Structure 1
């Protein structure tokens, strides 16, 4: 399925027809009255508009999460569904309550398997934190129970779901999303034949309770970086490459990383088929894969709900060869970045030319910069990005020897200090004997910080094992940068002598 854009936003009454159509598809079996009436949705939006979230794919509503705020005593009592929705009058809603109660959540069946449901749960958790509520509570159906009801009690059924002996599409999903089971409810949802009128009361506790941000989709203060230290290895075809890349994206996404970052020219193993050609001809053949790789990474960013920095790959435009990468955002959009400073080797063997755009990128985790390998050795680039608000600088690189790596590492650490930002670097490791001009690689992924009391003494947040294929998962605290800018032992960004010198971008 080709998807161009995914958006999470509040439900509007104008969405009703699409909402109804998706509900009819999602609940076509097992539930009576499988959709909300328009007047019910209108009433729900009136009492609690912030709690009604839809997920929109290419401008079509394909799922929703509907909620109320209720008193904890009601939510934890032995109640029925109608005690919450009160014949769709929603009288149980209490703006001064302390629990976010989920009254519905669904995804159109054609869009399942893309982890869109997880996004809805994540935005509910955000809302719970931002409204300073104790927890999220709701009762989940057990739609597979009718297959086991003659031999298992509901409790025995749940015990087997917990131990993975039985898969229940609702409860298994909730437990995987950090909800824990509170109790069984009898006769919770009238007409739920598949669940034999049982439901399971589930709760997610807000560990940030007592903190009270007020914005939906507020910018994160803690951002999790996933750096992929990529082993060069022979690959038979493009699908093998995608399998390996998706493995790592899946891995870092499983740790709820906000970014997955690949190295410079990690696509080089695909050039082995053209090793009989000259270096310049071979890399131009490799560039024919770039559009396909870009589109696939866009799909993976959506599927795994993660922003992907695709390292770099050759890109042919008007018969000019560039070294480029793509920022594939989890909302389905993407942007290209180009290596600006080309090494003598790239120019000599491949005929590459440098890009001419210095830019930053807005993401759901704040403003970032991306520069490729040799670019980090030119401090002007990251300083211009820093003046534009960049807080995290990503540097995918490819170095063959340790002294080349040392240049990248040392300069990256300097960029972190002088720009009071985080710098994340990752590269390729291992050998690639059947690709000319790509024989050996030396690499060690790392995340560098400014050097002050709020950060590690050596300015190194974390680093990988050198020359070993692995991932590096690192949390960076953006609020610490704000404090540094104003209260640091030294304030590099503020203390520059702009009366004596200035830096400006020509294009």
Structure 2
């Protein structure tokens, strides 16, 4: 993939390239993780070169980065799998702990491993453009859908009164706003279930909303 964009903000017009990443980008991708997840976030949870090598070699179509001014300012990674309907799963199982060695070349689902945007660029709509680019990958490969677990960082505040399903419903109805789920809804993804113990995340109480985008060119049975 190679896509050229110009994103406006209050001060400038920012030329941007969205493309597949490769070995020459690994150091910059790890530096991006450091900017996005600074201490006290544990550095051992940033991408490492072995994981990035697997991303770029096993499923290069799902290894996307955004580049501006010669600097990588965003990335999105996915793998291709078939997810059995109604089978509970967590992030580690579905992504092979981020190594994607379970990638299935003929899987019917593009499963999101990670979306990362430089804090300096988070008001430019860059995350939405990365998501749109992955939708294009879904269509190009003839997959049925894009799927991934969305954090629910606003849930902890409401957990004493709302179950996770009701919390997601209220976010979808606009009664509540969640930093992650509201963003995904604006990108066109819809809830397809709740996953308990999806990822260690205190703000979400370890829950995630499974957020789906269906390929509009494939008729569901």
Q: Specify the TM-score bucket, using the shorter chain as the normaliser.
A: 0.7 to 0.9
Gap change, CA 1:30 and 1:166, over 3 Å in 2: farther
The 8 Å contact of residues 27 and 34 in structure 1, kept in 2 or not, is answered as: no
Instruction: Determine whether 1:21 maps to 2:31.
Output: yes
Q: Distance in 1 between matches of 2:143 and 2:119?
A: 31
Gap change, CA 1:31 and 1:161, over 3 Å in 2: farther
Find the residue that maps to 1:119 and give its secondary structure: helix
Shift of 1:156: 2.4
Gap change, CA 1:135 and 1:12, over 3 Å in 2: same
Match of 1:192 among 189, 201, 215: 201
Q: Distance in 2 between matches of 1:88 and 1:107?
A: 18
Match of 1:46 in 2: 57
Q: In structure 1, list runs of 5 or more residues that go unmatched.
A: 211-507
Higher RCO (C-alpha 8 Å, min separation 6): 2
TM-score normalized with structure 2 length: 0.87
Structure number, greater radius of gyration: 1
Find the residue that maps to 1:125 and give its secondary structure: helix
TM-score normalized with structure 1 length: 0.39
Task: Note the aligned Cα RMSD (angstroms).
Answer: 2.0
1:87-486 pair list within 5 angstroms: 87-189=97-199, 191-209=200-218
The 8 Å contact of residues 140 and 199 in structure 1, kept in 2 or not, is answered as: yes
- CA offsets per residue over residues 354-383 of structure 1, 9 Å max, x none? xxxxxxxxxxxxxxxxxxxxxxxxxxxxxx
Instruction: Determine whether 1:67 maps to 2:107.
Output: no
Q: Distance in 2 between matches of 1:88 and 1:114?
A: 27
Q: Distance in 2 between matches of 1:173 and 1:69?
A: 23
Q: Distance in 2 between matches of 1:31 and 1:156?
A: 30
Find the residue that maps to 1:5 and give its secondary structure: strand
The 8 Å contact of residues 153 and 204 in structure 2, kept in 1 or not, is answered as: yes
The 8 Å contact of residues 78 and 111 in structure 2, kept in 1 or not, is answered as: yes
The 8 Å contact of residues 98 and 113 in structure 2, kept in 1 or not, is answered as: no
Q: Distance in 2 between matches of 1:29 and 1:166?
A: 29
